[in-house]
Structure 1
Amino acid sequence: MKRNLLILITAAALLISGCATGPTVTRTASDEVIDLSGRWNDTDSRLTAEAMVSSMLSGGWLERFSTDEGRPPVVIVGSVRNKSSEHIDAETFIKDIERELINSGRVTFVAAGAARDELRDEREDQQSNATQSTAAALAAETGADYMMQGVITSQTDAIQGKRATLYKVDMELIGLENNQKVWIDTKEIKKLVEQKKNSW
């Protein structure tokens, strides 16, 4: 009797485990637009960065600077504050902007924030631990002419299974020597999400 019960339990366990299904995963192209929740996503970040950098590089400030100084301007990306109603990884957006700036070939780009601090720490360490001929020189950084800064905000309106969210990204370019704002722009993304039998 106990033996039959053990066989029955084992068979049931195998049957249940065989019927259990896991999630289905489909690989897609990294630039394919997939919007599941209606919240800010990688596509919004990429498209906004592309639009902002394109706008910035078409501004009159770039030609004026290149003509006056005889070289491309040096740009650094500062903070992009997330003041929206949801979690947005601003670092991902900053990296998208950096990629667009560097790949444009129209400005010289220098590291900022934690990356710059790490490089400075390494240079300092080399002064004591690397040979004199290979140690990177101190106080030889390329100074930035302009800093790009911005803020992400959002407004949400919802009723009976419908939610509309407006994301607004404001960016500006400021001269480091004189604090003059030489470029400013806004990009808006509006999303409408409908979900039956649900409310927010």
Structure 2
Amino acid sequence: MEPAQHADREPADQTPGDDRPTADRSGGPGIGQPLPGPSAGAAKPASTRSPRDMAISLLVLLVPIALLLAFYRGFLGGDQPTSVDPTPAFEQARAAAEFPVSEPSGLGEGWRTVRASYRAVEGGATLRVGYVTPEGRGLQLVQSNVPPEQLLPTELTERGQPQGQADLGGGTWQRYTARGNEQALVLLQPERTVIVIGDARDNELREMASAVD
């Protein structure tokens, strides 16, 4: 028979006590365990704005701008050139008495004066008045005592060439080509030369020429 074991002898396979280091029982990471990080494959949140939403936002911005532009053009005359009073320029030319001065008379509605000046230049003096015609085209009235051989190349450029006569009123006008798409009517007189030039139509050129003849 085997001798009886001593009562106070502990068994050899006793489990470890609570004072040994163990994993944190609170549920957190234990010693040696890696901290959780963001997943490498995590996708970024996609934008929720569709092309339709962006188009609507752009339209909301453009509508007030279009309304303001229409008001500016329709009611305030935003596209219309500023009209001026040509009277001081005509009076200055008459006072200088360099040449006879004719002021247009009898023009129809819609003619607007946009510039007017009288200046002494080499060889004489020149009165220059710019208009916008009823059709919205540009036209210029030039009266000068500068010799024609000097004046015409300046006003019509070297390309200006006579194209025949145009009988208007009491004088005989000459048709001329001019720069670009412009054309001109020229009246040669002993004391002055009158030029009506612009991109206006022939009927408006003739109306202005008749008004100063």
Bin the TM-score by the shorter chain. Answer: under 0.3
TM-score (norm 1): 0.26
More helix by share: 1
Per the normalisation by structure 2, the TM-score is 0.25
Larger radius of gyration: 2
